[in-house]
Amino acid sequence: MKRRQLICLAVAAAVLPAAASAQDAAMTVHKDPYCGCCGAWASAYRMAGYKVEARDEEDMDAFKARLKVPKEVHGCHTGVVDGYYLEGHVPLEAAEKLLRERPALAGLAVAGMPKGSLGMGTDPEASYDVMAVPRDGSTPYVYMAVRPS
């Protein structure tokens, strides 16, 4: 039993600091002042422990252009956290993986406003892709697929 406890403690020590640093990250959510789902998405991150500040933007297209978010992956709002952007309804699991692994990406994106994505209600049949956007401007690719269980 003692060996098992030691292994559990070692695993927890290796995993917890990475998770805590991701969740302690400060995030700025840039959003349309008239959108409700943006606030729901930001609240989910806040409840997960992120320090979230919301900023209303009058011209989201101009803001996304400054960050070089490809038009084909535009979502509703844009979160900026720890040198990455989270475009649209990116789920918590994808953001935590991004912040833990620190790949050479500009950010992650969920194009459009998929039904059942974070901030867009609950739908057990939700199916959408989280796209990785490389820093070098190459083609975005699927980082995480969200599919019904």
Confidence class for position 132, pLDDT limits 50, 70, 90 = very high
Pairing of strands 26-31, 51-56: parallel
Tell me what percent of the residues of the chain surpass a pLDDT of 90: 74
CA atoms within 13 Å, Cβ hemisphere of 126? 20
pLDDT value, residue 20: 39
Confidence class for position 15, pLDDT limits 50, 70, 90 = very low
Q: For 73-129, how does the pLDDT look when each residue is reduced to its tens digit (9 = 90+)?
A: 999 999 999 999 999 999 999 999 999 999 999 999 999 999 999 999 999 999 999
- 6 compared with 47, residue with greater pLDDT: 47
Report how far residue 100's alpha carbon sits from residue 50's, in angstroms, rounded to the nearest whole number.
14
Residue 130 pLDDT > 90:
yes
Which residues are bridge partners to 82 per DSSP? none
Burial of 145 by CB count in 10 Å (0-12 exposed, 13-18 middle, 19+ buried)?
exposed
Report how far residue 103's alpha carbon sits from residue 98's, in angstroms, rounded to the nearest whole number.
7
